[in-house]
Homo-oligomer: A and B are copies of this chain.
Amino acid sequence: MTGTVLADGLLADGRHADLRIEGGRIAEVGKMSSAAGAERIDLAGALLVPGLVDGHIHLDKTLLGLPFQSHRPGDTVAERIAREKEIRRELAYPVKERALRLIRRVVGYGTTFLRSHVDIDGEVGLTGLEALLDVRESVRDVIGIELVAFPQSGIIADQGTAELLDEAIRAGADLVGGLDPAGIDNDIEGHLGVIFAIAERHGVGCDIHLHDPGDLGCFELRQIAARAEALGLAGRVAVSHAFALGEVDDAEFGRTAEALARAGVAIMTNGPGPVAMPPIKRLDAAGVLVFAGSDNIRDAWSPYGNGDMLERAMLIGYRQGLRADEDLELCFDLANGAAASVLGLDDHDIRPGAAADLVALPAASIAEAVAVHPPRSLVMKRGRVVARDGTLTASLRI
């Protein structure tokens, strides 16, 4: 026998199994009485799940690892964008170094794929993207990274950004982002027109930040769904946050959820603190794919966050009042299967042929893993152990 055997893992369905890993993939799932010739790692009954997937993070924004930064308040989103630019100008630490610090942390938590937004604006241009493209390449054996070109200062409001977004896709960004077409750009048609034209021109997907509230936000969601449907972008368009879905009456919610489901538009939530959040069980029942992300981690926007997607799943469940096992399993899926599907990963599973991106942790069930979110005992990326007991063991260099 060749490769590596992960022995005695507890699978989500309650079975204990051994996994044989070869060439970065799961070769065999079953009972392997002997592993002569194969390296054997005994999981001693630890829960074994596919790697966690962070569907929304900002690798270029984090200040994690630097001396704690006091938050600089701003009353409006525009004011807070201005505060962030101040901090960015003062920072001595480049994007690469900060991104690597955060990657080191999230790999320890078992994240094997992530989608990062990266600021594109008239001030930084593509410099943040270029830094993260380098980072992506240098860490590819440790974590998979998808990059969204994110117009943090607006598109219409920040002249020249439309062209920069187009350039960003040509430079290697995977998706085109957006931000509050009404709230930031005061031009829903104009903002979405730019984004979807770029998506169509380059054959890429979109992931749009939407904080706009209530009926306005839901109107924008339906506009996004209509454009996604017209361009045949089912499964390739996501809206992040979409607080509006938690703020409207049943009729408005139903109409909007139906449009999202029909167009194959996914919704990302981080389980926000003070605002309404998308009702994940109702969206799931309506056929809308919901996935999870960390969002801000110790940056100009928030002093909170640590990048642990199991803790994030817990927070989402806590915020939604979910307690039953099956509901905690749904929360887990937001940060696993659902997010993997949004990222277009069709081999993110525990079965022969799937990628050997795996996490082991001391829990007797998925529900316990979410509620307790204990330290990860082992993290494997493409068949190689990259972290043990919460700490990166692979080397990261750039």
In the assembled complex, A393 has its CB within 8 A of some CB on chain B: no
Smallest Cβ-Cβ distance to A369: which chain B residue: B68
With A303-B367, A371-B298 as known contacts, state yes or no: A319 contacts B273, CB within 8 Å: yes
Chain A interface SS verdict (over half) = loop
With A298-B371, A371-B303 as known contacts, state yes or no: A365 contacts B325, CB within 8 Å: no
Interface residues of A in 13-47 (CB under 8 A from B): none
Instruction: Chain B residues near A251: list those with CB within 8 A.
Output: none
Smallest CB–CB gap between A277 and chain B, Å? 10
Q: A348-386 CB contact bits vs B (8 Å, 1 = yes)? A: 000000000000000111011001100000000000000
- Number of A interface residues in the complex (CB < 8 A): 30
**B70-A324 in contact (CB<8A):** yes
Interface residues of A in 282-331 (CB under 8 A from B): 298, 302-304, 306, 314, 317-321, 323-325, 328
Instruction: Chain B residues near A273: list those with CB within 8 A.
Output: 317-321
Smallest CB–CB gap between A48 and chain B, Å? 17
Smallest CB–CB gap between A101 and chain B, Å? 14
Q: How many copies of this kind of chain does the complex include? A: 2
With A and B bound together, what is the CA distance between A60 and B274 in angstroms? Answer: 31
**A67-B323 in contact (CB<8A):** no
With A and B bound together, what is the CA distance between A367 and B319 in angstroms? Answer: 23
**B71-A368 in contact (CB<8A):** no
In the assembled complex, A203 has its CB within 8 A of some CB on chain B: no
Instruction: Chain B residues near A160: list those with CB within 8 A.
Output: none
**B274-A68 in contact (CB<8A):** no
Most buried by B among A275, A306, A371: A371
In the assembled complex, A73 has its CB within 8 A of some CB on chain B: yes
Q: A97-127 CB contact bits vs B (8 Å, 1 = yes)? A: 0000000000000000000000000000000
Smallest Cβ-Cβ distance to A365: which chain B residue: B68
Instruction: Chain B residues near A275: list those with CB within 8 A.
Output: 321
**B321-A71 in contact (CB<8A):** no
6 A-B pairs closest in CB distance? A274-B321, A273-B318, A68-B368, A303-B371, A71-B323, A70-B325
Binding site for B on A (CB under 8 A): 67-68, 70-71, 73, 273-275, 298, 302-304, 306, 314, 317-321, 323-325, 328, 363-365, 367-368, 371-372
21 contacts between A and B (CB under 8 A): A67-B364, A68-B368, A70-B324, A71-B325, A73-B323, A273-B317, A273-B319, A273-B320, A274-B318, A274-B319, A274-B320, A274-B321, A275-B321, A298-B372, A302-B323, A303-B323, A303-B328, A303-B367, A303-B371, A304-B317, A306-B372
